[in-house]
Amino acid sequence: MDSWEKAGRISAEVLEYGSKLIEIGGSAIEVLDKIEAKIYELGGKPAFPAQISINDLAAHVIPENNVVFKENDIVKLDIGAHVDGHVADNAKTIDLGNNEDLVKASKLALNEAIKVIKPGAKLYEIGSVVEKTITEFGFKPIKNLFGHGIDIYELHARYSIPNFDNKNKSELKEGQIIAIEPFATNGIGMIKDGKLSGIYNVTNIKQVRDNNTREILKFILENYNMLPFAKRWLLKKFPEFKVSFALRTLEKESIVYHYPQLPEVSQGLVSQHEFTVLVKDKPKILTKVD
């Protein structure tokens, strides 16, 4: 468990570090740069691009360079680290306004969900606890966003962990690593695909003819394996025209998937909290600051 636990410690420490950088007037992209640098400094690597999703945006957002935090923003910070492919994923919400109850709803839902985690726990039982907790605050869970299993170099593995009672009777197994991540909203409780995010994932490895594209794909696989990566990471190594051409080619060949941003359908505000957990009779939160 050493690598899982180290990844968890790094993720937890960096999440706390990053959350303290989020303040009115601050640059969102500068916060992401500092967060990713901190992950390396502590001996890990980013398991995916650090993300800051503001207000009605629930996930998959790398803000534009000119985005600054404003009064009344509700900010989701989602970061992950890995150690030799052992992934830890966690998130929290920072409220720059008056959204205290919305933040509490997802945070308490996470804590209550942890209490039912054990070998044999059914997925719908987790979702039911999340849904009940959030609705008691007067909000709704986002029903088409899920937690997920985690495996080596695999951010989204078996199972999908629901945020509502979806009647799924699949059972957790001893020793599984899972990410629980309730999302609460004052909207209708659904997200949709928004504009493209600049976050990619290799989904299918095959040969490509173009030398430039082949070079960049090789770099992606050597540095990020099958974990998500950011276009902005590639721009630190290669010229923009080469990166853009290669990514377009890789998308066209169905080798990479380009994630969309995920706004709430009715533009409701969204809060999120997330831990990575080891399934045991007494579950162990791997991404918790001691």
Do 109 and 93 lie in a common domain? yes
Catalytic residue, chosen from 156, 165, 264, 273, is: 156
Q: Could you tell me the CATH number of the domain that includes residue 202? A: 1.10.10.10
56 catalytic per annotation: no
Do 119 and 48 lie in a common domain? yes
pLDDT above 80: residue 24: yes
Do 95 and 231 lie in a common domain? no
Residue range 221-251, pLDDT digits in tens:
999 999 999 999 999 999 999 999 999 999 9
Do 79 and 58 lie in a common domain? yes
Do 70 and 189 lie in a common domain? yes
- The owner of tokens 């540095």 is 223
Q: Could you tell me the CATH number of the domain that includes residue 32? A: 3.90.230.10
Residue range 249-270, pLDDT digits in tens:
999 999 999 999 999 999 999 9
Residue range 98-143, pLDDT digits in tens:
999 999 999 999 999 999 999 999 999 999 999 999 999 999 999 9
DSSP state of 166: -
Q: Is residue 235 part of a domain?
A: yes
pLDDT band at 197 (very low <50, low <70, confident <90, very high): very high
Predicted TM-score of the model (pTM): 0.95
101 catalytic per annotation: no
DSSP state of 264: B
Q: What is the pLDDT of residue 97?
A: 96
Do 200 and 189 lie in a common domain? no
Mean pLDDT, the chain, rounded, equals 97
Catalytic residue, chosen from 36, 56, 125, 181, is: 181
84 catalytic per annotation: no
Q: What is the pLDDT of residue 1?
A: 63
181 catalytic per annotation: yes
Catalytic residue, chosen from 89, 125, 131, 264, is: 89
Do 9 and 58 lie in a common domain? yes
- Whether the CB-CB separation of 80 and 11 falls below 8 Å is answered with yes
pLDDT above 80: residue 20: yes
In the predicted model, what is the mean pLDDT of residues 187-215?
Answer: 96
Which range of residues forms the domain containing residue 242? 196-260
156 catalytic per annotation: yes
Angle at which helices 28-41 and 2-19 cross, to 10°? 150
- Whether the CB-CB separation of 46 and 89 falls below 8 Å is answered with no
Do 76 and 212 lie in a common domain? no
Q: Is residue 290 part of a domain?
A: no
Residues 6+ positions from 244 with CB-CB distance below 8 Å: none
pLDDT band at 289 (very low <50, low <70, confident <90, very high): confident
pLDDT band at 290 (very low <50, low <70, confident <90, very high): low
Concatenated DSSP letters of 218-242: HHHHHHHTTS-EEHHHHTTTS-HHH
Q: How many domains are there within the chain?
A: 2
CA nearest neighbour of 272 among 125, 136, 149, 95: 95
Do 29 and 164 lie in a common domain? yes
Q: Which residue stretches of the chain are H helix? A: 2-19, 28-41, 100-114, 123-136, 211-224, 231-234, 240-252
In the predicted model, what is the mean pLDDT of residues 59-68?
Answer: 96
71 catalytic per annotation: no
